[in-house]
């Protein structure tokens, strides 16, 4: 490929990562682009991980290269098959096409072991018998150089022998480690004889029981990229100080070396971006699971109803930076709302039903009215909505003694029913406790379709559903999981800022009968109420709707203030 073509000049202008890659290609350092997303399977991936996924995939796509999904599965104690399966599913759903390239660090364990033998033979690694606490003590700190382990100059043959016995399971957990011999006085703490292997008698979710020594992340990570011939290893900024160690390993081994480039993590307001703390929420029962629609996991967002295309749009808008930044949650919701406004079909539903009886219609009246499926897409067509003598409207759409700016239904007042008729409230029925149970109304038959032939106007249009033809549903209204923008930046533990109103369940909602044909995962707009997604807890004849986002767009107000 001719990397001097003008299209690559345009790519270089997009961000500093693409600019560096174009420079590498034009300098002949690499003859193509091969990227990867290397998750540790110790939890479900979240929106912060999604940025890394989409970045690595799009860069490979833009340069006509390849993109791998590769599990850094070096710690069997924290890793599970459930997490592996969820990550494969979520990366594919997000749209990052890894084709058939799903790899595992554990597939390279033998190669890594052989590489370790090479370093021992070169006098660049040794078996150490210090405890974990002693290693930490000997390491020193940023103001104090470390001191060498008593086993640092252990004879090569002795280290080879003990390392082989470690592999064969002769020693208990934590009794010995393999360490690189680098520089105990280095200003970079990562270079102070880092641990390469530790003993763990634990079953591995992918490799099974074959191994009882496991490579440390810093030893494995660069080797994995080297083995897979990754050209550009895009890492978040906290790995910048690890880069000299990755390079040292590969240089000492004399093997292929990718180029690592760091970029800033993305933070999202009212959210936490740590699998460790997300797992804590799950384990303590603050949420129902990793896919709880309040969670910032890709699985949770999918279940809530966020379209993959909307997340892609959000990640593109978030951009690529060299310093950490926090994006307003409203930006993500804006992207979701824009996508659903274009693509989600419209239905009517009533969340807090109040019965309306139309006295000037017969008991068996059924009228099928035309309703628009999506005004943003004329090709979506129309549907038939049944109109009967008894209806449900929102309880909040009626006020017996209306306030000054309340324009919806009240005694003696006329309103428009969406797609239907002008409706007038004539009387109010209450129970023995004074609660309103029913409204007695009339319609103007001449206003069928929602317009008056004499040109009179009404100030409000209300949604409704037929009482006899509607479907009962549960609606779960979701809000922010936390009450503060930065839950981790507070003096108290982040769980102290969980939003007690992040989930409100309404169990006696009514939706129009056409919703019975919806499938799990389908997204809709319930007119005047918001965008919703059919949840996996739905049962035949009893759908469950998760509110994805409200209709109100607070992002526009944020933009207007800038």
> On the CB side of 208, how many CA atoms lie within 13 Å of its CA?
1
> Which positions are catalytic?
40, 265, 275
**Closest C-alpha to 135, from 182, 187, 177, 74:** 177
The β-bridge partners of 506 are 475
Q: Tell me how far apart the alpha carbons of residues 561 and 154 are, in angstroms, rounded to a whole number.
A: 66
Task: Report the distance separating Cα 303 and Cα 441, nearest Å.
Answer: 40
Q: What CA–CA distance (Å, rounded) separates 349 from 463?
A: 7
The tokens describing 548, both together, are 């994805």
Helix (H) or strand (E) holding 276: helix 275-283
User: Parallel, antiparallel, or unpaired for β 390-394 and 353-358?
Assistant: antiparallel
CA angle 227, 229, 233 (to 5 degrees): 105
497 neighbors 486 (Cβ within 8 angstroms): no
**What DSSP letter does each residue of 49-106 carry, written as one string?**
HHHHHHHHHHHHHHTT-EEEEEE----TTT--HHHHHHHHHHHHHHT---TT-EEEGG
Cβ count near 407 (within 10 Å): 15
Give the β-pairing of 503-511 and 523-526: unpaired
R_g over Cα of the chain? 31
The two three-digit tokens of residue 170, written as one number: 């002769």
Strands 530-534 and 366-372: unpaired
In eight-state DSSP terms, residue 490 is: S
Contact call for residues 423 and 432 (beta carbons, < 8 A): no
Please say whether the beta carbons of 106 and 205 come within 8 A.
no
Per the CB < 8 A criterion, the answer to whether 136 and 174 are in contact is: no
Residue in 542, 540, 535, 533 with CA at minimum distance from that of residue 471: 542
DSSP readout, 408-450? SB-BT-EEEETTS-EEEEEEEEE-TTS-EEEEEEEEEGGGTTT
CA distance 511 to 288: 26
> What is the chain's percent helix, strand, coil content, to nearest 5?
35, 25, 40
What gap in Å lies between CA 453 and CA 92, rounded to an integer?
54
d(CA 30, CA 22): 10
**DSSP assignment letter at 208:** B
Nearest to 511 by CA among 289, 333, 348: 348
């Amino acid at each position: 490929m001719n990397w001097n073509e003008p299209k690559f000049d345009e790519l270089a202008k997009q961000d500093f990562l693409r600019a560096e890659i174009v420079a590498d290609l034009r300098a002949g350092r690499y003859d193509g682009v091969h990227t990867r997303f290397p998750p540790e399977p110790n939890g479900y991936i979240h929106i912060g991980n999604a940025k890394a996924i989409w970045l690595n995939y799009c860069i490979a796509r833009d340069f006509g290269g390849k993109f791998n999904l590769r599990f850094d599965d070096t710690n069997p104690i924290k890793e599970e098959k459930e997490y592996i399966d969820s990550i494969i599913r979520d990366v594919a759903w997000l749209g990052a096409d890894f084709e058939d390239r799903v790899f595992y660090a554990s597939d390279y364990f033998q190669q890594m072991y052989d590489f370790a033998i090479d370093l021992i033979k070169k006098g660049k690694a040794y078996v150490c018998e210090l405890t974990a606490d002693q290693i930490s003590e000997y390491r020193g700190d940023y103001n104090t150089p470390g001191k060498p382990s008593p086993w640092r100059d252990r004879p090569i043959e002795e280290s080879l022998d003990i390392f082989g016995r470690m592999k064969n399971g002769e020693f208990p957990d934590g009794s010995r480690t393999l360490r690189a011999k680098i520089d105990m006085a280095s200003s970079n703490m990562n270079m102070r004889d880092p641990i390469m292997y530790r003993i763990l008698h634990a079953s591995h979710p992918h490799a099974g029981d074959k191994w009882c020594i496991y490579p440390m992340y810093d030893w494995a990570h660069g080797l994995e990229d080297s083995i897979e011939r990754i050209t550009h290893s895009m890492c978040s900024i906290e790995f910048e100080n690890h880069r000299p160690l990755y390079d040292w390993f590969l240089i000492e081994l004399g093997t292929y070396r990718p180029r690592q480039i760091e970029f800033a993590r993305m933070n999202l307001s009212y959210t936490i971006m740590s699998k460790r703390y997300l797992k804590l929420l799950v384990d303590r029962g603050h949420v129902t699971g990793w896919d709880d629609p309040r969670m910032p996991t890709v699985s949770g967002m999918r279940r809530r109803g966020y379209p993959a295309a909307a997340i892609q749009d959000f990640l593109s808008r978030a951009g690529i930076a060299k310093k950490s930044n926090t994006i307003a949650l409203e930006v993500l919701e804006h992207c979701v709302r824009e996508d659903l406004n274009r693509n989600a079909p419209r239905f009517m539903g009533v969340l807090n039903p109040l019965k309306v009886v139309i006295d000037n219609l017969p008991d068996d009246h059924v009228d099928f009215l035309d309703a628009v499926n999506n005004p943003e897409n004329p090709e979506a067509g129309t549907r038939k909505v049944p109109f009967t003598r008894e209806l449900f409207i929102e309880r909040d759409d009626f006020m017996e003694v209306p306030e000054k700016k309340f324009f919806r239904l009240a005694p003696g007042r006329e309103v428009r029913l969406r797609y239907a008729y002008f409706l007038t409230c004539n009387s109010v029925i209450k129970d023995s406790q004074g609660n309103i149970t029913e409204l007695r109304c009339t319609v103007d038959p001449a206003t069928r379709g929602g317009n008056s032939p004499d040109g009179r106007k009404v100030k409000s249009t209300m949604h409704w559903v037929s009482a006899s033809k509607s479907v009962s549903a549960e609606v779960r209204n979701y809000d922010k999981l936390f009450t503060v923008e930065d839950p981790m930046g507070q003096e108290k533990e982040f769980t102290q800022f969980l939003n007690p109103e992040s989930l409100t369940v309404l169990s006696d909602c009514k939706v129009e009968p056409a919703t019975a044909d919806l499938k799990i995962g389908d997204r809709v707009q319930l007119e005047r109420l918001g965008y919703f997604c059919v949840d996996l807890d739905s049962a035949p004849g009893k759908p469950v709707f998760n509110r994805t986002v409200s209709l109100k767009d607070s992002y526009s107000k944020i933009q207007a203030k800038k």
